[in-house]
Structure formats: structure tokens, C-alpha cells
Structure 1
Amino acid sequence: MTREIRCQQLSPAAFAPFGDVLDCAGTPDRLINAGLCERFHDRARLDFGVDGRAGISLFNAMPRSLPCELALLERHPEGSQAFIPMTENPFLIIVAPDVSGKPGTPQAFLTAPHQGVNFHKGTWHGVLTPLEAPGIFAVIDRIGKTVNLEEVLLDPPYRVLP
């Protein structure tokens, strides 16, 4: 038996329990560079733990299409993780609340152009899922000596619908 979830548009309010929406919505906090650049200041709560540091990696993920199967969720218990697309193409974001150390019922979001996300530390989420090629992202997350990844296989899986 396959379970189903439907995608919703990504919004800061709907995504708040899981992390931060990264975009240039609203009024900029200030103008910089002699008035030639709008700064949207401090848009994410980054957390790299006591023994970690910030790292920037580049990912090139294979695109998928909807509907798709969701069979795996992961989380990073020691640090936040931000996905910042390097194209204007939308991508799929899946998150789930924590229920006694396991993922609860997932929610699916679709980004608008020029949106990224920051998952708060310990947030269950799906893997990086671009919907068009190229699936190139800058990923800002914790670099450290301890393992910062937990994975859970979902049985039965979910079918993610547009």
C-alpha cells in the first residue's frame, strides 16, 4: 500500500516548524555598496553545534518528476543544512515532524524561482530533489568529526503528488 502526500507552495509560515525560507521577499533591511545592492539580512538560523564548523559544498542532483516516490527521510542531529539552488528552477522539499525520534507524516513543498531553504538542526527531510536539470545547489552544512546523519526507510513509501 502506498501512502500519498500533495505538494503545497513553499511559504515562510508553513515551513517555520522545519526551518527557514531563503528568498528576497519583503523589504530589504538596508542598502549597501553605495546604494547599488539590497541586503536581506540574517535570513537563516544556522547551527553547526559545539564541535562543528560551517562548510559550503556544491551538489549536482539528478532531476526527478512528479509524481515521485518518497522512501527515505534523513536528518542531521548536530547541525542545520541549507539548500541554495544555483538556477531558478523549482525543487521539491519534503519535511516531517519528529515523533519520538522517528519521522511523522511528511509534508511536501514546491519552491518558487529564487527560493532556497535552511533545515533546522534535527529536522527530518527528503533528499535534494530538483525537478529540472541542472540540479546544481550550494549546500551549507556542518563539517565535523562526528557523524551528522540519520536515515529512515519508509515502509510503505509515500507517493508525492503535484
Structure 2
Amino acid sequence: MMHITIEPLDRDGFAPFGEVIDTTGAPDKIINQGLCGRYHDRASLDFIEGRAGISLFQAELRALPYRLEMMERHPEGSQAFLPMSMDGFLVIVAPDDDGKPGSPRAFCSKPGQGINFHRGTWHGVLTPLTGSGLFAVIDRIGEGANLQEHWFETPYVINH
């Protein structure tokens, strides 16, 4: 088996795969009678046809070491994951290597962080390690195939 070490989730390291959605820095605007900070336009939704929709995913908690056997991607639209609790989760991504995943990378989000995968980014399945496993997901709703899967001949093992 091949091993992957988990990296902290930050904007620069994750940029080739998508956007980190969080409250880093000062709010862009103060709204609601001065009682709310708006962190504006933190992710770019990108869809080929269809429309944006919000769904709720209830994912089973996973544990480390984690065995990565499969990755998937969505060629027709970006996909954002926002935890509905203040718990981090494991984010697994890989660059495209001629139509299949290249070398995977694993990131651990901090409480209060979500992510938005760029359209066509290879990623692992939703992998909460603690918390409720409940996520709001914003992605493409529409006709046509928007899921490609790749199963590895040799699985990877992801450790701390």
C-alpha cells in the first residue's frame, strides 16, 4: 500500500483543487445593523448547464488510518461541502493525470472551514472524522452524467 500524510487545509495548498470557504481575515462588509460580518463571495460555482442546488448529506464517521480505494469527479459542475457542525473533516484530492487521478493529497480542515471543489477535480468521498457527519452541499442539479469514478489497483492509506 502507498501512504499519504495529512496536511492542514489552507488556501494556498488547496488552490489547485478548489477554494477553502472560511472566515479568514476581516469581514468584507458589516451588515444587519452592524451585528453581522459578511465574508463575501468565498467560492465560485461553476456549472455546465443545470442549476445550483443545496442538498444535505448525512455521512458516516470514518477513522484513521483511512483506506482510499476510490476517487470521483464531477465534470459538469463544482461541488461545495459545508459542515453543519464545528468539526473538521478529511479532504482528499488529486490532480488529473490523463483522465485518472494523479498522486492523491489529504488535507484536514479546521472547525469552521468548508471547501468548494473546482469542476472536474478528482476527490475522495465525504470523510468526516468527528462530529455529526451532516453537511450542506451546493452542487449542480441537472440532466446528464456528472459522476466519474476511478478505483485504484493498489489502495492508499492515509495517516496523521
* 2:42 aligned partner: 43
Which of 100, 113, 116 is equivalent to 1:102? Answer: 100
Residue 89 of structure 1: CA displacement? Answer: 1.2
1:154 and 2:152 are equivalent in the alignment: yes
Q: What secondary structure is seen at the aligned counterpart in 2 of 1:42?
A: coil
Tell me the distance in 1 between the aligned counterparts of 2:11 and 2:131: 25
* 1:135 aligned partner: 133
Per-residue deviation, residues 54-84 of structure 1 (Å, max 9, x unmatched): 0110000000111110001000001000000
Residue 48 of structure 1: CA displacement? Answer: 1.7
* 1:76 aligned partner: 74
TM-score, structure 1 normalization? 0.97
Tell me the distance in 2 between the aligned counterparts of 1:161 and 1:155: 19
Tell me the distance in 2 between the aligned counterparts of 1:73 and 1:126: 5
Tell me the distance in 1 between the aligned counterparts of 2:36 and 2:151: 44
Tell me the distance in 2 between the aligned counterparts of 1:73 and 1:89: 23
Residue 46 of structure 1: CA displacement? Answer: 0.6
Contact 2:85 2:131 in 1 (8 A): no
Gaps of at least 5 residues in structure 2 are none
* 2:22 aligned partner: 23
Which amino acid in structure 2 is aligned with residue 53 of structure 1?
R
Contact 1:20 1:44 in 2 (8 A): yes
State the number of aligned residues: 160
Residue 133 of structure 1: CA displacement? Answer: 3.7
Tell me the distance in 2 between the aligned counterparts of 1:138 and 1:42: 17
Q: % of aligned pairs identical?
A: 59
The two structures, once aligned, show a CA RMSD in angstroms of 0.6
